[in-house]
Amino acid sequence: MNLSRLSSIKTKADDLAKLTMDKQLRLAVTGLSGAGKTAFITSLVNQLLLGAENHQLPLWQLAREHRFLGSKRTPQPHLHLASFDYQGGMDALQSQPPRWPSPTHGVSEIRLKLRYKPQSLVWRKLNHTATLNLDIVDYPGEWLLDLPLLNMNYAQWCEHIALSLKDSRKAQLAEQWQAMAQALALNDNADESQLADIAQHYTDYLHQCKAELGMHHIQPGRFVLPGELAGAPVLAFFPISPELANAKVTNKNSNLALLIKRFEYYKEHVVKQFYQQHFVKFDRQIVLVDCLSPLNSGHDSFCDMQLAVNQILHSFNYGQSGVLRRLFSPKIDKLLFAATKADHVTPEQHQHLVNLLGEVVAEGKRHVKFEGINTEIMALASIKATQTGKAQLNGNTINAIKGILQNDVDSQQLTTLFPGEVPASLPKHTFWQQQGFEFSPFQPPQANPYQALPHIRIDQAIEFLLGDKFK
């Protein structure tokens, strides 16, 4: 065999190796609004970009074995999507005083190319490196809660909202838009400006539920974060009394007909399109849950969070029949539930947080496990904003956390506090009576461009979500 033939065989073998060793993974970062998705993605990207020299990832086997060669940002696959603003997030964390990355107003995407030495001896002997293209998608948490709408018609949705108004605090906030909706002549020819006006009051009500009651169940999600749909007629609808919504439409140009039409349009062109474009072809999923803020906000907020998280999980109907089955290709084979902001509690409470999250997501997890999906629960802090310290309580020295509270940004004063015990299971009546948990947001740590962000167990999350891909 002559030399040129040998070299051509070698090139082909190399090409084949490259083909075999280039992998692709799309990660769904899921969570309610404020759960910490953007902070998680920012920190994950940061750990991976600085990863090769970063000694902060001992629980990630690839890094521990020094097989991780590094990663870089490469062009994202979907050109019509905004790019995830990693630099914006890092600029905020590096500013004086440091700020958290801004809340999310639209969908964005980022791709990282991770290069590593494969574990297999054969590949290593051949001195081959391999690549994993990791795509991560960020989006506003509010939009996620629209998924259940796909299984409802307008009258059913009105019924659903009517049920939620059994909560007296919500009912109180709802008085104005409800009165306006009741006064609407449903069978008269549609009055666009009247509909827009009532929809605006309904939107104000949703904002109030979020800000004043700490509620997560905000439907439709686009009303509070409309993105490019701000002012569009598709958002000019609202719920009415379920009995009236069930009435036969006699005038196809009526207010009622238009409300139904807009609701259906919203489902078809906003909700469905969002899920079809962004929620297909995920391989792995992380569900981030902030259990601590609702513990602080009270019983109703906590129950609302639990319901919303499980509803989302139920909606990701990994392999059942129905509309959702057709929307998703149920490829997700690993799902991680993570209790975020674990730096708000002392380390010995992390297990409580894990147990609590286990109970919060129990229903949804059963559902996912039944489909054969590998799940795990952990507590993490994407960006660790506190240190552990000691405090005095009733004459005893106890473990505490120390950091700069968001309220003390001007004075930059360090506070040491004991936030209270995290219940290790769903809180009982007595917990709420004592209101035993204090959650006060902390300023993020001052980021250094040359060092990876401080975190708690993000390496364990990487190991669970990506670890097997580096074999």
Ligand X SMILES: Nc1nc2c(ncn2[C@@H]2O[C@H](COP(=O)(O)OP(=O)(O)OP(=O)(O)O)[C@@H](O)[C@H]2O)c(=O)[nH]1
- The position carrying tokens 């209270």 is 420
How many Å separate Cα 208 from the centre of its chain? 21
Q: Which residue stretch of 69-77, 96-104, 261-269, 390-398 sits at the interface with Mg ion (rule: CB under 5 A)?
A: 96-104
Q: Which residue stretch of 2-10, 97-105, 294-302, 423-431 sits at the interface with Mg ion (rule: CB under 5 A)?
A: 97-105
Q: Is 427 in the site for ligand X (CB under 6 A)?
A: no
Pick 154 or 439: Cβ nearer ligand X? 439
CB 31 within 8 A of CB 339: no
As to burial, measured by CB atoms within 10 angstroms (0-12 exposed, 13-18 middle, 19+ buried), residue 250 is exposed
Q: Which two tokens stand for residue 231?
A: 């002012």
Pick 184 or 288: Cβ nearer ligand X? 288
Pick 104 or 355: Cβ nearer ligand X? 104
Q: Is 104 in the site for Mg ion (CB under 5 A)?
A: yes
Report which secondary-structure segment, H or E, holds 464.
helix 458-466
Q: Is 33 in the site for ligand X (CB under 6 A)?
A: yes
Q: How far is the CB of 344 from Mg ion (least distance, A)?
A: 18
Residues numbered 102-141 forming contacts with ligand X, rule: CB under 6 A: 103-104, 140-141
Alpha helix (H) residue ranges in 320-361: 323-327, 350-360
Q: Is 37 in the site for ligand X (CB under 6 A)?
A: yes
Going by the DSSP 8-state scheme, the letter that residue 381 receives in this structure is B
Q: Is 340 in the site for Mg ion (CB under 5 A)?
A: no
Q: How far is the CB of 13 from ligand X (least distance, A)?
A: 45
As to burial, measured by CB atoms within 10 angstroms (0-12 exposed, 13-18 middle, 19+ buried), residue 402 is middle
Q: Is 386 in the site for Mg ion (CB under 5 A)?
A: no
Q: How far is the CB of 74 from ligand X (least distance, A)?
A: 23
Residue from 26, 28, 30, 36 touching ligand X (CB under 6 A): that is 36
Q: How far is the CB of 356 from ligand X (least distance, A)?
A: 17
Which of Mg ion, ligand X, none lies near 118, with the C-beta cut-off 5 to 8 A by kind?
none
Which of Mg ion, ligand X, none lies near 233, with the C-beta cut-off 5 to 8 A by kind?
none
Interaction pattern, residues 327-356, with ligand X; x per rule: CB under 6 A: -------------xx-xx------------
Other CB atoms within 10 A of residue 120 CB: 13
CB 74 within 8 A of CB 115: no
Closest by CA to 220, choosing from 242, 195, 241, 238, is 238
Residue environment code for 19-36, b if the CB has 16+ CB neighbours within 10 A, otherwise e? eebeeebbbbbbbbbbbb
Q: Is 70 in the site for ligand X (CB under 6 A)?
A: no
Residues numbered 17-46 forming contacts with Mg ion, rule: CB under 5 A: 37-38
Q: Is 38 in the site for ligand X (CB under 6 A)?
A: yes
Distance CA 70, CA 6 (A): 32
- The position carrying tokens 């990282």 is 112
CB 401 within 8 A of CB 421: no
Residues numbered 232-251 forming contacts with ligand X, rule: CB under 6 A: none
DSSP collapsed to 3 states, 117-132: CCCCHHHHHCCCCEEE
Pick 117 or 384: Cβ nearer ligand X? 384
Distance CA 131, CA 47 (A): 17
Q: Is 100 in the site for ligand X (CB under 6 A)?
A: yes
Residue from 93, 381, 404, 462 touching ligand X (CB under 6 A): that is 381
Q: How far is the CB of 384 from ligand X (least distance, A)?
A: 7
Residue from 437, 442, 464, 470 touching ligand X (CB under 6 A): that is 442
Q: Is 454 in the site for ligand X (CB under 6 A)?
A: no
Taking phi over 0 as left and psi of -120 to 50 as alpha, with beta for the rest, 394 belongs to left
Q: Is 383 in the site for ligand X (CB under 6 A)?
A: yes
Which residues lie across from 392 on neighbouring strands? 397
> Considering CB under 6 A, how many residues would be counted as binding ligand X?
24
Distance CA 47, CA 51 (A): 5
Residue from 26, 34, 130, 336 touching ligand X (CB under 6 A): that is 34
CB 412 within 8 A of CB 64: no
Which residues lie across from 286 on neighbouring strands? 29, 336
Pick 192 or 212: Cβ nearer ligand X? 212
Q: Is 441 in the site for ligand X (CB under 6 A)?
A: yes
Residue from 28, 31, 117, 205 touching ligand X (CB under 6 A): that is 31
Pick 159 or 343: Cβ nearer ligand X? 343
Which of Mg ion, ligand X, none lies near 36, with the C-beta cut-off 5 to 8 A by kind?
ligand X
- What Å distances lie between residue 18 and 6, 48, 126, 467, CA to CA? 18, 22, 12, 20
- The position carrying tokens 């000691």 is 390
Which of ligand X, Mg ion, none lies near 322, with the C-beta cut-off 5 to 8 A by kind?
none
Pick 120 or 388: Cβ nearer ligand X? 388
- Cα 343–380–23 angle (5° rounding)? 150
Going by the DSSP 8-state scheme, the letter that residue 270 receives in this structure is I
Q: Is 222 in the site for ligand X (CB under 6 A)?
A: no
By the criterion CB under 6 A, which residues form the site for ligand X? Answer: 31, 33-39, 100-101, 103-104, 140-141, 340-341, 343-344, 381-383, 385, 441-442
By the criterion CB under 5 A, which residues form the site for Mg ion? Answer: 37-38, 104
